[in-house]
Amino acid sequence: MHQTFHANLGARSVAHLPQDRHPRLINPARAGFTLVELLTVTAVISILASIIGVALGNAKGAAKTSTCLFNLRQMAIGVNTYLQDYDDTYPQTKVHGSLQPAVDDANGSLENPDRGSLLNALGSETTGIADCPSDPDPDDVTCSMLPGARPGVNSYSVNAYFIFGLNQGQIANGVASTILAAERRNSYASNGAPPNCDVSYHPWFNTSNPEAPQNDMDAVAGALDTQRHAGGSNYMFADGHAGWNVWAQTYAQNRVNLHLPY
């Protein structure tokens, strides 16, 4: 009787405990995550990883572009130093018989082995500044296999108006508005066109010149890479500054041409 009373009392005491005081039992079936929960977490992680990957890729590309532009500015400083030492005359790598290389070289007749690119001297193998990090093949190994290819190519191509000993006083269009060097199109051109294996490009090789052997000023298949950096390219100007421009800002037939000094 006594034991029964205490047993009943204990049962009633437990029954009247507050709901949140009841011992909680863990359901073994609910100890882990469900398949839906795992798939949701995996999807979220995948989305975050892709966002981070794109951000890192953009940052890496921007860093390469900045390095290319910085190196181009260093080479421009070298050109300016040369100008100060040689009476405002740009480094000469070819010889011509008149002040109009566009006349002498209208059909490519002077495209013989020359003294190389003036940028090769500024961006030697020890510095590497003439090789843009955004250029997948700055030395263009395919060029050595093409007939008539010029030796010593790098990421840039010099405006051929400047390789005949041009003087700053001859630049009627303004040194700050005349392009001295641009980014050379290599074998990785997106359109599959053959690379430009010359250390210089010819602004007078265009559709308006019936003697031109090719169109160096074509935005897609011309001598220059017009979209190496986010839809544009880096350019060195005759006054020693360098900057990023889209192609249409530098050349448009009968409208704008920053590649002509006079």
Q: Is the pLDDT of residue 97 over 80?
A: no
Do 110 and 202 contact (CB within 8 A), yes or no? Answer: no
Do 156 and 181 contact (CB within 8 A), yes or no? Answer: yes
Q: Give the DSSP H or E segment for 256.
A: strand 256-257
For the segment 154-171, the average pLDDT, to the nearest whole number, is: 87
- 236 within some domain: yes
Please give the structure tokens belonging to residue 210.
């019936």
Q: C-alpha angle 208/245/168, rounded to 5°?
A: 70
Q: Is the pLDDT of residue 24 over 90?
A: no
d(CA 201, CA 119): 13
For the segment 116-127, the average pLDDT, to the nearest whole number, is: 57
- 38 within some domain: no
DSSP 8-state code for residue 99 = S
- 42 within some domain: no
Q: Is the pLDDT of residue 112 over 50?
A: no
- 107 within some domain: yes
Model confidence band, residue 106 (pLDDT cutoffs 50, 70, 90): low
**Which range (25-29, 87-91, 256-260) has the least confidence?**
25-29
Do 116 and 79 contact (CB within 8 A), yes or no? Answer: no
Q: What is the average pLDDT value for the chain, to the nearest integer?
A: 76
Whose tokens are 């250390």? That residue is 199
- 21 within some domain: no
Domain residues for the domain of 160 are 56-257
d(CA 189, CA 184): 10
- 28 within some domain: no
- 33 within some domain: no
What is the count of structural domains for the chain? 1
d(CA 38, CA 40): 5
| pLDDT tens-digit readout, 206-262 | 888 887 888 899 998 899 999 888 889 999 999 999 999 999 999 998 889 999 998
- 7 within some domain: no
